Structure 1
Amino acid sequence: MYRFKSFAKINSYLNVISKLESGYHSLNTHFQIIDLHDKISFNTSSKTVLTSNKNFDLKDNLILKAKNWFEKKFDLRNNFEIHLEKEIPIGAGLGGGSSNAATTLYFLCKFHNIDLKKLTRDQVCNELGADVFIFLTRQSAFAEGRGEIITEIHSFDSDYLLLSPDINISTKKMFESKFLEVSNKIDKTKNCFFDVLLKESLEFSNFYSELKKKLPINTFNKLKLSGTGSTLFIENPDENEKALIFELFGQNFRVFLAKGLEYYDFELNGV
């Protein structure tokens, strides 16, 4: 059995600065790896089967998409029993699906003794998504383009408190929203999807209103959105803020404490 980690990320900030002729968008963001992670195991088998500890649709999962793309690219075919031990919330702006795809590509390169550098940036981004390529670099970084052009390796190494409602947000829908404002003005304190999400999702808007009613204004104003949502986070919360959010929301929503990482390893080291 082969076992690997698959880490989450948050976006410290996220600006959409233009729309490209290809239909994609040009971004300016900071991609912060955090120590929250899934675990993925691979066992050679006569048939490829994907299972998980969580109940969600696995049919179009990025793990299988990455496997199929890799095998087509290198003209290879192997079957595996794949088990995904899911800890990263789904559709929550934490990059879980893209991270799972990157971990799968890493495993397949290792299994077939193929240099990871043969997975070129443009190919991975065009076929699987820009976030998948970023996860393959295994580093926190400032990024541009569709999110795949690294401009500076940097980690804030902060502590984070994450609050994740059970609201699955479609990234595609968010980028297609009529409420999305495209601007070449870069604001490193802002996620431009925050207002979009409040207008597109009544469920998230109600959740956010509940937070505003229950949290002290200073704590509420520290909340930031990761990716296109729906996870909110506070950077370097104090002990009172941690205790209060766990007390108020820990029973009904997923609340995590996480640490920023500069770099990570896919290997599980026998765990």
Structure 2
Amino acid sequence: MESLDSGWQDFPAPAKLNLFLHIVGRRSDGYHLLQSVFQLIDLADTVSLRVSEGGEIQHLNPLPGVPAESDLTVRAARLLQKATGCSKGVDIRVEKRLPIGGGVGGGSSDAATVMLALNRLWQLNLTRSKLMELGLSLGADVPFFIFGESAFVEGIGEIMTSVATPDAAFVILHPPVHVPTPQIFSDPDLTRNTVPIRVRHFDSAVTRNDLEYVACKNHPEIRENIMWLSQYADARMTGSGSCVFASFSSPNEANRVIYDLPKNMTGYVARSLSKHPLHEFAE
């Protein structure tokens, strides 16, 4: 990764897309059971880290209104520090490109990148499975980014099987709404009994995002973006929203769609990634 002046180093924190998301049941404790394929893409935040010797962990450009104690990057660094007894500290900066509240895993990816990078910078040598175990306490998506490969995901998000997905270019649209995930999962109209599929059949199964109906019901802007993008390809929502996406065989195709984007919509073009750029930082 690129080294900056005064000891700073840059690390990418890529987004993910849910190629589909099925809710297949619910546990007795209220947690929903899901099936999904998580696809890494090259749209990414940049996390900059500078190791210090005093043990202090500082976020130097926190998001407005987000105290350091609740910022996932700070919590990730402190979690590693506590779990390993490491006496070193770190200064953190994050250049945000991923839409906040978009269902692309931005905060979780930032936290995972901090854990992977500090595993090397602090010379902790924790295994990938240990980092994933620790990361689960920060959020359900964090272990996936540490896993670092496209994955068939089950359970409440903790069971992952590596899968091969085709190279693709994606058009991603970001409606200007924030979707509260708990609101989606508590809605009585949410489908909770989709028939499970087998990992080996996922690429030929009929799939959808079970959260999409409820999100569109509560946020018409999401439906508007899906309908516009559906002119060009099969479009659906990722995660609990609000971002929607469609897959294309080449960046040129995707760029042509973005060229037609109405001025009241926001969109990006991204490429699929087969592995996380920091995959080698843990074994």
TM bucket (normalised to shorter chain) is 0.7 to 0.9
Residue in 2 that maps onto 1:57: 66
> CA, structure 1 residues 23+51, in 2 after alignment: closer, same or farther (shift >3 Å)?
farther
- Distance in 2, matches of 1:217 and 1:266, equals 34
Task: Give the residue type in structure 1 aligned to 2:31.
Answer: Y
Residue from 5, 12, 31 that aligns with 2:12: 5
Decide which moves more: 178-187 or 132-141: 178-187
Q: Does the residue aligned with 1:116 lie in a helix, a strand or coil?
A: coil
- What's the CA shift for 1:55? 4.9
The structure-2 alpha-carbon separation of the partners of 1:130 and 1:188, relative to structure 1 and needing over 3 Å to count, comes to: farther
1:193 to 2:202 alignment: no
Q: Following superposition of structure 1 onto structure 2, how do residues 14-163 of structure 1 map, counting pairs within 5 Å?
A: 14-45=21-52, 47-52=56-61, 55=64, 57=66, 59=68, 60-117=70-127, 119=130, 121-125=132-136, 127-163=137-173
Contact kept? 1:51, 1:58, Cα under 8 Å: no
Q: Distance in 2 between matches of 1:226 and 1:195?
A: 12
Q: Which residue of 2 aligns with 1:248?
A: 261
> How far apart are residue 211 of structure 1 and its match?
6.1
Letter in 2 for 1:102: A
CA distance in 1, matches of 2:229, 2:243: 19
Change (3 A) 1:235 1:211: closer
Contact 2:47 2:92 in 1 (8 A): yes
Q: Secondary structure at the match of 2:272?
A: strand
Report the CA distance shift for 1:108/1:233 in structure 2 as closer, same or farther (over 3 A). Answer: same
Deviation at 1:185, TM superposition (A): 0.9
With 85-94 and 139-148 compared, the bigger mean Cα shift is at 139-148
Which stretch shows the higher mean deviation, 111-120 or 13-22? 111-120
Closer/same/farther in 2, CA of residues 108 and 206 from structure 1, 3 Å limit: closer
| Greater length-normalized contact order (CA 8 Å, ≥ 6 residues apart) | 1
Q: 1:165 aligns with which of 143, 161, 175?
A: 175
1:265 aligns with: 277
**Unmatched runs of 5 consecutive residues or more in structure 1:** none
The 1:241/1:108 distance shift into structure 2, 3 A limit, reads closer
* Alignment map for 1:177-216 (pairs within 5 Å): 177-186=187-196, 188-199=206-217, 201=218, 204-209=219-224, 212=227, 215=228
Specify whether residues 16 and 104 from structure 1 end up closer, same or farther in structure 2 by C-alpha distance, changes over 3 A only: same
Q: How many residues align?
A: 259
Judged with a 3 Å threshold, the aligned counterparts in structure 2 of structure 1 residues 217 and 170 are, in CA distance, closer, same or farther, namely: closer
CA contact (8 A) 1:54 1:85 kept: no
Q: Any conservation in 2 of the 1:163–1:233 contact (CA below 8 Å)?
A: yes
Return 5+ residue gaps in structure 2 as ranges.
1-7, 197-204
Secondary structure in 2 aligned to 1:147?
coil
**CA distance in 2: counterparts of 1:230 and 1:108, whole angstroms:** 31
The 1:172–1:76 alpha-carbon spacing in structure 2 relative to 1, beyond 3 Å, is farther
**Large movers: runs of 4+ above 6 Å:** none
Cα distance in 1 between the residues matched to 2:273 and 2:257: 25
| Structure 1 counterpart of 2:4 | none
Change (3 A) 1:253 1:62: farther
> Given that residues 10 and 227 in structure 1 are in contact (C-alpha distance below 8 angstroms), is that contact kept between their aligned partners in structure 2?
yes
Q: Matched residues in 1 for 2:51 and 2:229: separation? A: 52
Using the TM superposition, give the Cα deviation of residue 70 of structure 1 relative to its aligned residue in structure 2, in angstroms: 1.7
Q: CA RMSD in A?
A: 2.6
Answer yes or no: is the 8 Å Cα contact 1:32–1:156 preserved in 2: no
Shift of 1:12: 0.3
Task: Report percent identity of matched pairs.
Answer: 27
Shift of 1:237: 6.8
- Assess if the C-alpha contact under 8 Å between 2:171 and 2:257 holds in 1: no
